[in-house]
Chain A
Amino acid sequence: MNDADIRAILPFLVLSAALTVIVLGIAVRRDRGQAAILAAIGLAATLASLWPAQAVAPRQVTPLFAIDGYALLLMGLILAESLAVVLLSQAYLARQEGPADEFYALLLLSTLGALALVSASHFASFFLGLETLTIPLLGLIAYPRERPLPIEAGVKYLILAAMSSAVLLFGMALVYARLGTMEFARMGAALAAFGQGPQILWLSGVALIFSGVAFKLSLVPFHLWVADVYEGSPAPVTAFIAVVSKTAVLGLLLRYFLAAGIFRDPTVELTVGVIAIASMLGGNLLALLQTNVKRLLAYSSVGHLGYLLVAFLAGGTAAIEAVGYYLVAYGTTTLGAFGVVTVLSTGAGREVVALNDYRSLAWRRPWLAAVFILMLLSLAGMPLTMGFFAKIYAAAAGVGRDAWPLVGALVAGSVIGLFYYLRVVVAVCLPAAGEQTPEPAGAAGLAMATLAGLTGILVWLGVYPAPAVDLIRGTARVFGMQ
């Protein structure tokens, strides 16, 4: 391992160092504020270390990690999202009982797993990254351990994640048995070498790998856990699961499919397409009359992952562009929406999730309501927000391939989506009904500033998407290294 290799994996090293410092710090002195500051500094430093890494990219570091523009872009996105979660959760955790230091250690560890995932180019790093991402999540979900709901969510996630990992591992074993390699880049060649022989082993392997990943992405029919876990987790953790975990896993899936040449296979396309349609329709339908905002956003994310698969299926650089922009839009918007839930829950000292709690928000907290409405409109794909262009890209990807069933489901899903997003907007704008004790506005200045930043990005890139698109397009070119 030479000097350039070290520089390429600098983000991993910096984040691991920050993690160690936090854990050591906890050993010396239990202080929530100290851990939060260390976590924020650590994430910011890791973000900064992307530049030295970028100087040596693209670079293959051992067969396990490919540090290229694509990986660095997604790392940047994941780190920024984690940083936003840290900032959002600071005041929230202050209201919780018990020590909160380990929360940040777990968060950083999970982020490390996400970084590993998006640069993984080998089944070993794939699986390691996924488990590093998942296992700390269990701790995060069940963090308020005195309450029954988080514990229930944690246990459900634990058992189901273990089950899906087993499915995933079995799929990997099948692919390895057939191709004799675990490196993504070699799989295409190995597959071609077999020529026209029976493909059942390989196809079954890919189907099982996709099933394992689909659990993490909460695609229909692997989505049943998502509402319970979103509801049970503390609001910042829900944001983290919804955004960081999904960005990393989808980023990995796209790399695996592109590098291993899976996109050319019509059978796989059919499987992914069917699941995409099921997710777009199922997710949006489940959210229709939902009165719990967290559950509603959970089902909405199922639908959004379905839209993302439409963009995903475009294949090639078009997929990177469409998926990349969609991930940025989805991340910004979802963080913003759960950020509002977090801020409200901070003030109330409980999880504020019932639609009734949001009634007349526009009159009580106009700024917060404005942010929430913008986020919901972006989720609905309204023009002048990022969600609009994201959906346009997804639709264009579908139209470009003449995949009309996918486009049809996308349109139908969007129409259904509009209904339930607007239901929430209407509730927010309604005047107060009778007596409603306004919950105290917690000291959430940092969280409010984060929300302001997210809103700024949402509108700026929603009106003028060219900078983001150019950046992503630049990465797509770099991807050619393999």
Chain B
Amino acid sequence: MLLPLVPALPLLGFLILFISGGRMPKRAVEAVGVGSVGIAAILALIVAAGFLQGPQTPLVVAWPWLTLAGFTPQFGVRLDSLSLVMMLVVTFVGFLIHLYSAEYMEADEGYNRFFASMNLFVAAMLVLVLADNLLFLYVGWEGVGLCSYLLIGFWYPNPANGLAARKAFIVTRVGDALMTVGLLLIYTRLGSLDIQTAMGRAAQQWPQGSVAAVAAAALLLGGAVGKSAQLPLQTWLPDAMAGPTPVSALIHAATMVTAGVYLIARTHVLYDLAPPVKEAVAVIGTATLLLASFSALNQRDLKRILAYSTISQIGYMFLALGVGAWAAAIFHLMTHAFFKALLFLSAGVVIHRMDEEQDIFRLGGLRRQMPLAFWTFLIGSASLAALPLVTAGFYSKDLIVAAAWQDSPWLGAAALLGAFLTAVYIFRAVFIVFGGPPRHEPHGPTGRRVAVPLLLLSVLAVTGGFVQPPSALGGAPLFTDFLGKTLPSAPATAEAADGVTLASGLIALAGIGVAYLIAGRHWFAGALQIPPARLLERWWAAGWGFDFVYDRLLVRPFLRLLWWNRRDFIDGVYTALAGLIRLAWRLLSISENGRLRWYAAGIAAGSIVALALSVFA
């Protein structure tokens, strides 16, 4: 019965911090903020140990919330292999990032506010992944969206940050609106929002490819696309880097943005019933991963490189979902959480100690000045680039590439191209930031609360993949088997995989080589200075101009419409209504004249009306 405590503890932490309203000393804030997530992580571990030792049957703890005309939603948490993995990732990575923030944010005035929002986020995220009911899941879904908004705009005195927060909120809102319609559709057609019940009924009642199944899957996909920053709703994530770096690590890399992947995996029955939508998932994932990789290639801002990289890596997860490699998607979600959190956190160290400088071309030669940041960033980059054998990213990405290859050579080739680009863009950053001659002297020490999370995440970024070595290395599919209890396993990929493993390994190495050429002062970098290449570069750096197009196509026409209607002719109706109501108030108030005989007359009149209604009706 410890399971409900896992989300409850961070919520309690939030309440304490919220109610104290910044009146507690920083030590106490730290103890509550970090401690609540830490204890939740320990509890999650105990729950997980119990689950693994037992028969591994799903564990459900539920309370009825209300009963209303046959509508009986529950507050329920459900632990199966899928939510177990998610819960461990959220609590552990969450705890490490909280610990890191305790030092990183120490000088900030909004220390209490920061930890309150972070704790609320962890609670909401745990509700999202543990909910056994789509309504309850939606509570978590909106909760993480709210926290994302609050934390992107954490430094609200700067209007640009508020703008970024609003952009994130509104763009994801587009997806959420679709998802809400999807939930209503599921409830009206299947009569239940309980995930297991609804999925069971969907499998029975909806034939393969039926309109209802396609609509439901597509609407949920809309929500997933918004939350996970996939095409065409990816534009908010690079701007979301306006938040503090730990926020980018926790919310916009490791956990919240992968909620879409989780949602699709959780409702995979629908996608199996709707092959066109499933195909769309694969195509969206592939397109996103390529587009975002090209954009990452041309960024100057270190955090934006990582942001585009996140979009692209989630594209991989969507690709895996689309080709039915459910477990591979969750596997990559997990390893990505490790290495991307690591990358953000070590980038945070660099930025913090270099006076908030995020432009990679103004950094340089940091490998000797900041060995800890250098090595941890290198490990994270290697894992992201899927350096063969020694990194977690290799094992998970390899599984996806193999599955994509088996589904269609086009998807496989695109995934390989993406892998190449990934290696190029991240090692370009490594070479530019850490290579070359030193430029500025970093200041400030790096404390233990920052170092420990970096080291632990480095270990995870390397070893996290050993839970499932590829068949070419004689490994056993432990992770997919474990998830297989919840998600159907992908078809065996043994033979196809060997060649792919070799190819993706070589491609990663080639990518690093090209990155070295670009970053250095070689002829190769010079060759990229020709005008057409510059143009392409600018186009990609601006994220393929999506912001521009949306601005011209949606935002400006909308503002123009508002300008036309600035007197709001529809509001006239309501203004008139309000005037009418005021008039009614004035008239009725005449009756309240304080005279007893008038009041008595009221009672008499009322009795007469009641009598008349009874007698004549």
Contacts and interface: CB of A to CB of B under 8 A. Distances in A.
A180 interface: no
Interface in A235-262: none
A225 B600 CA distance: 9
B582 A466 contact: no
B596 A159 contact: yes
Contacts, number: 106
A159 B600 contact: yes
Interface string B597-617: 011101101110111011101
Interface stretch (A69-77, A209-217, A326-334, A436-444): A209-217
A285 B217 CA distance: 46
Contact of B585 (A215, A266, A285, A392): A285
B582 A204 contact: no
Between B63, B598, B606, the greatest number of chain A beta carbons within 10 A of the residue's beta carbon is seen for B606
A412 B402 CA distance: 60
A167 interface: yes
A426 interface: no
A275 B606 CA distance: 9
A32 interface: no
A224 B601 CA distance: 10
B553 interface: no
Contact of A285 (B67, B68, B588): B588
A203 B614 contact: yes
B575 interface: no
B584 interface: yes
Instruction: Specify the main secondary structure of chain B where it touches its partner.
Output: helix
Contacts of B589: 286
A167 B603 contact: yes
B594 interface: yes
Interface in B505-555: none
A222 B608 CA distance: 11
A399 B70 CA distance: 13
Contacts of B63: 464, 466
B72 to A, nearest CB: 10
Contacts of B617: 266-267, 270-271
B602 A271 contact: no
Contact of B65 (A156, A167, A268, A466): A466
Contacts of B591: 224
B579 to A, nearest CB: 12
Nearest to A273: B613
Interface in A360-402: 389, 392-393, 396, 399-400
B68 to A, nearest CB: 6
Contacts of A466: 63-67
Between A210, A224, A469, the greatest number of chain B beta carbons within 10 A of the residue's beta carbon is seen for A224
Contacts of A286: 585, 588-589, 592
Interface residues of A, number: 48
A267 B584 CA distance: 29
B15 to A, nearest CB: 11
Contact of B599 (A156, A210, A469): A156
B114 to A, nearest CB: 22
A416 B614 CA distance: 30
B576 interface: no
A37 interface: no
Taking residues whose C-beta sits less than 8 angstroms from the other chain, chain B's interface range is: 20 to 34
B120 to A, nearest CB: 15
A416 to B, nearest CB: 6
Interface string B476-509: 0000000000000000000000000000000000
Interface in A152-209: 155-156, 159-160, 163-164, 167, 200, 203-204, 206-208
A465 interface: yes
Instruction: Specify the main secondary structure of chain A where it touches its partner.
Output: helix
A113 interface: no
A303 to B, nearest CB: 12
A274 interface: yes
Contact of A160 (B65, B66, B584, B600): B600
Nearest to B587: A285
B75 interface: yes
A24 interface: no
Given A288-B581, A466-B63, A224 B588 contact: no
B201 to A, nearest CB: 25
A267 B613 contact: yes
Contact of A167 (B584, B607, B614): B607
Contacts of A416: 581
Interface in A65-107: none
A224 B602 contact: yes
A35 interface: no
B603 A275 contact: no
Nearest to A215: B603
A469 B67 contact: yes
B561 interface: no
A160 B609 CA distance: 18
A221 interface: yes
Contact of A464 (B65, B606, B610): B65
A290 to B, nearest CB: 9
A361 B563 CA distance: 38
B51 to A, nearest CB: 26
A424 B65 CA distance: 31
Interface of A: 155-156, 159-160, 163-164, 167, 200, 203-204, 206-208, 210-211, 214-215, 220-225, 227-228, 266-268, 270-271, 274-275, 282, 285-286, 288-289, 389, 392-393, 396, 399-400, 416, 464-466, 469
Interface of B: 63-69, 75, 581-582, 584-585, 588-589, 591-592, 594, 596, 598-600, 602-603, 605-607, 609-611, 613-615, 617
The 7 lowest CB-CB distance pairs between A and B, nearest first, are A207-B614, A288-B585, A203-B614, A211-B607, A207-B610, A221-B606, A224-B599
18 contacts: A160-B603, A163-B600, A203-B614, A206-B614, A207-B613, A208-B607, A215-B603, A221-B605, A221-B609, A224-B602, A227-B592, A228-B594, A267-B614, A268-B614, A271-B610, A271-B617, A285-B584, A285-B585
